[in-house]
Amino acid sequence: MTETIRREPVAQTLEENYMPYVMSVILSRAIPEIDGLKPAHRKLLYTMFKMGLLKGNKTKSANVVGQTMRLNPHGDAAIYATMVRMSRGNESLLYPYVDSKGNFGKVYSRDMQYAASRYTEVKLEEICELLFADVDKGTVEFVPNYDGTDYEPLLLPVKVPTILINPNRGIAVGMASNIASFHLEDIVKATIALLKNPKANLLPLIKGPDFPTGAYCLEDEAVMKQVIEKGTGTFRLRAKAQIIEKENRIEVTEIPYGTTVEAIMDRIIVGVKDNAYKEISDVRDESDLKGLRLTIDAKRGTDMDQLLAKLYRDTPMEDTFSCNFNVLINAYPQQLGIRQLLIHWLDFRMDCVRGRLRYDINLDEKKLHLIKGLEKLLLDIDRVIALIRATPKEKDVVPALMKEFLLDEEQAEYVANIRLRNINREFIASRVKERQSLEDTIASNRELYDSEKGIKKFIENELKEILKKYRRPRKTELIAHVEEYVEEEVEMSEEPQILLLTQELYLKKIEKNQFDPKQEQRLKDGDEIVYQLESKEWGDLLIFTTEHRVFKLRVSECESVRPSELGIFLPHELGMNDGEEMVLALATDDYKGHVLFAFDRGKVAKIPLSSYATKTNRKLLVRAYDDSQSLVRALFLEEESSILLSRYERQKENWLLIDTELIPEKVTRHSQGVNVMRIGKSGRLTDMELTDASEKLKKFRSASIPSAGKVRRPFE
């Protein structure tokens, strides 16, 4: 049986198979709509609303998760995670939708895990009244759920622009959304201003974002204008920190939205290890039920203002929030600024108000129609009773009433269903009196329905009432400017420094004018000096190790020592591993020259020293040289020279003398190098050293590589 291979263009395959997935992610998962909710949020909240959790007592989260599965085909873990992010306990939203009891984690903590759904309890927050007001009165469209067994709203008829009062993030395919939250009062005032004039200046009304985690936001008029008009821009956020001078302590109580207290701690700990924060003695997370608190202890004599400024510069204590206001408008993704978002929301809200008015008018007209039927019976109640009694069959009662009193079917059905106790003149008269009230209400609603100006005024009054009820202080404080950290210029000595490095990895730094080569240096028993290097104060000491790493230490950060002192123990200072040994040490202040690495299979890698230079003060670089071969020797080459390589095979030793110019430069640090000396199956390269290429070595010279070299005689 032969297998048939069908060939299709790539574009066609992508369109038929991948594009449906792309559209599903964009429209049904990741991008919020004009009501400020993604489908997962809407399904969960509507399920809680139907469960009576807007007014009732809390219920176990697991109950809500189970019920939500009727609308949401995702697993319980995904549904519960969505609930957690909307809860008051998690603090992800400026105006939480879920009133929670139990451990729901914290948005500002990476490691604090929320409890399982069987342990926590939830209900809807009071503000959800604004989400579900008149939801069942024709304000929004309802559609079948995924299996056609229930109905759910396409949108919620939100009475306030929730799209801008709660932060919202989503990553789709080919697009993402990142919406900042703003102060409710600012958004309400801006919405009212746009009701009156779509071109109103919103800049004086919306000065900056307001995030659930508080902190500071730097005021920037240019950024705010861009966010208002285009929906893009980056806000600069700073943690709130208090300096306690008497105790040399900094307490951080609010951090930028989007970062975590663990991320800040991790960065500080790395900085302490790298000697970037020599002033810090301890850092710890003291967060408790009262809220976040990160404590940083400093050493005595520390300039606390400078330390705080440095932490802002180097850690996530200062972060940014990049706005990207992508929203679905009528199932079409658009990037909109605050102005256009609010205009679209006003159009949506006006449709909701019209829908509710239409519903009320229809309902009142039906009532009025029934009351008009009752009016015809007001003076003939006895005749109605007699007619019903004289009708032999129940099914004939309605047709008889229709014929006798000239009623339509609805009116006759209503009369026939009146309870016996209500068939009296008082009941019918009281119903008839409602006619005028209903006619007035219908006329008023029709007038409002036909008046765009009237609907706008209605929405304005509604927003003002909402603001009175839900106004609360701003959490994120807006500041005009911040103190920047200025690196103190340290005067460095122009005098060259002598660096003595021992076999046991002790380092001594001595000024050259104070160094006496004949003076005896104190060393540990059995230790010896293996490197005597010279460098400027601003130079770096590089130490290559057997674990294919290079450690960097600034000469200026090393303290000068006396000959009677052992010096700095580098394994402890640099954080080297147990058993990690040095293969090469060099000092440089300009990163000129090359490093040569010779490997046992005859390859040599010539790496420019500039490949190890970094813009930041990094203390460690991994994969400093190739880790797929056994290193034989590493040399520092200040300028092109001659090297002598030796190979041992079958009890014979070959030497090869070449100029380093023959070895091509490899910029990649972990390059395998090039073949320089040909090695047999049982042979290996045993050594490489710099040489002055004396007359007696010239017979081993080769003008090309790779070369096997020549056999070395015992007397040579």
How far is 703 from 604, CA to CA, in rounded Å? 16
Tokens representing 85 are 């992010």
Residue 476: Cβ-neighbour burial (10 angstroms; 0-12, 13-18, 19+): buried
Q: Is 470 a catalytic residue?
A: no
Q: Name the residue with tokens 């802002």.
A: 312
User: Quick one: how far is CA 555 from the chain centroid?
Assistant: 38
Cα–Cα distance, 455 to 460 (Å, whole number) = 9
Angle formed by the axes of helices 381-390 and 397-405, nearest 10°: 140
Task: Please return the burial class of 496, using the count of CB atoms within 10 Å of its CB with bins 0-12, 13-18 and 19+.
Answer: middle
**Number of Cβ within a 10 Å radius of residue 524:** 12
Tokens of 256: 């930028």
d(CA 32, CA 231) in angstroms, rounded, equals: 14
b/e burial code for range 559-578 (CB count within 10 A of at least 16 → b): eebeeeebbbebbebbebee
Catalytic one of 21, 97, 108, 119: 119
- Quote the CA–CA distance of 593 and 540 in Å, as a whole number: 14
Q: Which long-range contacts (CB under 8 A, 24 or more apart) does 163-167 make?
A: 163/32, 163/34, 163/35, 163/36, 163/327, 163/341, 163/345, 164/36, 164/338, 164/341, 164/342, 165/36, 165/94, 165/95, 166/36, 166/93, 166/94, 166/95, 167/92, 167/93, 167/94, 167/211, 167/212, 167/257
462 to 102, 158, 694: CA distances (angstroms): 34, 12, 97
Strand partners, 510: 498
Residues ≥6 apart with Cβ < 8 Å to 518: none
Distance CA 454, CA 379 (A): 42
Q: Which of 551, 556, 561, 553 is nearest to 508 (CA)?
A: 561
Alpha-carbon distance of 705 to 685, in angstroms, equals 15
Catalytic residues: 119
